[in-house]
Amino acid sequence: MTGSLRKVLVPLVAMAVFLVLWEALVWVNGWPNYKMASPSDLWPAYVRYWELFLVMGWQTLWRTVVGLLLAIVVGTAVGMIMGFSRTMRDALYPLLVGFNAIPKATVVPIVALMFVGAHDFNTVLIAFMISFFPIAVSVAIGLSTLEPEYRDILRSLGASQTTIFWKIALPKTLPEFFGALKVAVTLAFIGTNLMEIVSPHGRGLGALFDSGKTNSDYPLMFAVLIALALLGIVLYYVVVALERIFAGWAERAPG
């Protein structure tokens, strides 16, 4: 089996095994679908509400992607500031850690009240707020651990901090950056759905989940959860593909 084929088949087999075990767990315990929906209960929900899944799935996806892109831009900028300046690193680290320690579910109502009616902005903002922390920290760590010899040589040649970043620091930081980005992808989805559920506005998969909860349609609720998981997996593998393009050199050969 070739490496590429293995990387496709192994995850698919793992997902199939997970679904079989899930179905068996529900069947063995005799749980009704209002207690634990099984995979066989989900397909009718997808068939019945496929148009809503397409529309609301797209609404969730684009807001998540926009929030993630903002997190990349801001997180990289903050990470650069912290990585190149010990003073700024000491000043910003406690603030970032403290902010990240605040449960975002408590921030959602505040944001919704501050920007009443700006549903798209609110959702993108929460997705950004919850996902930029790992990116900022990974960039800061990557830059702060840059060998001082490289900096000294480039500075003696008249290189600016920006040149040092693009020529030396950025390539060195890419593996840590993409590792953090894989985490940020899932966090961005969590932020998006927090806003869609806690502050419902009839948009996104979070609103569809809330509708299923209101109508006691448990198969629909579980179908939404699986749809969210699939979107997260797709976006994760997009990041993996980008990592292989820009930081494939850092991938270790299997032992």
pLDDT per position as a tens digit, 195-231: 888 876 778 898 899 888 888 888 999 999 999 999 9
In total, how many domains does the chain have?
1
Say if residue 96 is exposed, middle or buried (CB neighbours under 10 Å; 0-12, 13-18, 19+).
middle
Task: Output the pTM of the full model.
Answer: 0.84
The reply to whether 128 falls in a domain is yes
pLDDT per position as a tens digit, 158-167: 777 677 777 7
Q: How far apart are the first and last CA of the chain?
A: 17
The reply to whether 252 falls in a domain is no
Q: Which two tokens stand for residue 250?
A: 């850092």
DSSP state of 34: T
The reply to whether 103 falls in a domain is yes
The reply to whether 33 falls in a domain is no
The domain containing residue 65 runs over which residues?
A: 57-246
Q: Which two tokens stand for residue 246?
A: 């820009």
pLDDT per position as a tens digit, 49-100: 999 999 999 999 999 999 999 999 999 899 888 887 888 888 988 888 888 8
- CATH code of the domain in which 83 resides: 1.10.3720.10
The reply to whether 40 falls in a domain is no
The reply to whether 215 falls in a domain is yes
The reply to whether 65 falls in a domain is yes
d(CA 143, CA 206): 37
Q: Which two tokens stand for residue 150?
A: 């490289």
Which pLDDT score, from 0 to 100, does residue 120 have?
Answer: 87
d(CA 255, CA 252): 9
Which pLDDT score, from 0 to 100, does residue 254 have?
Answer: 47
Contact, 126 vs 110, CB < 8 A? no
What is the number of other CB atoms lying within 10 angstroms of the CB of residue 16? Answer: 10
Q: Which two tokens stand for residue 48?
A: 């019945």
The reply to whether 124 falls in a domain is yes
pLDDT per position as a tens digit, 89-135: 889 888 888 888 888 888 888 888 888 778 889 999 999 999 999 99
Which pLDDT score, from 0 to 100, does residue 251 have?
Answer: 63
Say if residue 179 is exposed, middle or buried (CB neighbours under 10 Å; 0-12, 13-18, 19+).
middle
Which pLDDT score, from 0 to 100, does residue 64 have?
Answer: 94
CA 109, 114, 116: angle at the middle one, nearest 5?
Answer: 85
